[in-house]
Amino acid sequence: MEDAKIIDLFFLRSETAVAELEQKYGTACKSLAFHILNSKEDAEECVNDAYLALWNNIPPNRPNPLRAYLCQIVRNLSIKKYKANTAKKRNSFYDMSLEELAECIPARETVEDQWDTKELGKHLDAFLGTLEQKNRILFVRRYWFSASLAELASEFHITEHNATVRLSRIRAKLRDYLSKEGIGK
C-alpha cells in the first residue's frame, strides 16, 4: 500500500493503518531498533511505541516521507530506551559506532554549542554529498542504523577488515572536511 493511503487510514482513525504500517515497514523498524538495543523484546517495544506515536500525531501531521518520519521516531525511542538500559553498563554495538565518530565530531557541552548542532548537521549532510554512493550508504548504515561490521561486510560483499578500513578512511575525510569548515577537535 502507498504511504499516502496509509496516512489517509490514520486520518480516518482506522486500525488498519497500523497493520499496513507494520506490513510495509515493520521489518526495517525492528532491525533499526535491534541494532541500537541488541534486544528483540526491547526493539519490538520501541517499534510498538513508535506506532502509537504515529497514531497520536497523524492527524494533524501528514509526514512525507512516511518511512523517514517513522524511522526517526523508532531511532529516538530506541536511543532513549538504550540510555535507560545502559545507565550502568555498556552495549557494544551502539557504543562502538559512537566511539568511532567521537574522534571526528566535537563534544557539545554549552548552550551555544547545542545551538550549533543544527549547523553541524548541515555540514554532515554536505559532507555525505561529497562521498560516492557506496561510501555514503556504508557510513549511514554504520552510524545512523548502527549496523555491525559483519552485516556491512555481508551487505557490501567485502570482508569485515575491508569495512573497517573503508569506514576509517571515511572518518578521516570527515575529520578533514570538518576541520576545513572550522569545526572539529
pLDDT in tens, 24-64: 999 999 999 999 998 999 999 999 999 999 999 998 989 98
> Is the distance from CB of 94 to CB of 35 less than 8 angstroms?
yes
SS (H, E, C) the chain: CCHHHHHHHHHCCCCHHHHHHHHHHHHHHHHHHHHHHCCHHHHHHHHHHHHHHHHHHCCCCCCCCHHHHHHHHHHHHHHHHHHHHCCCCCCHHHHHHHHHHHCCCCCCCCHHHHHCHHHHHHHHHHHHHHCCHHHHHHHHHHHCCCCCHHHHHHHHCCCHHHHHHHHHHHHHHHHHHHHHCCCCC
Domain boundaries, the chain: 3-85, 92-180
Instruction: Identify which has the larger pLDDT, 101 or 160.
Output: 160
CATH of domain 92-180: 1.10.10.10
Please return the burial class of 2, using the count of CB atoms within 10 Å of its CB with bins 0-12, 13-18 and 19+: exposed
The number of C-alpha atoms within 13 Å of 167 and in the hemisphere containing its C-beta is 28
Whether residue 90 has pLDDT greater than 70: no
What residue has cell string 565518530? 101
- How large a percentage of the chain has pLDDT more than 70? 82
The number of C-alpha atoms within 13 Å of 94 and in the hemisphere containing its C-beta is 21
The reported pTM is 0.65
Class of domain 3-85: mainly alpha
pLDDT in tens, 144-155: 888 889 999 999
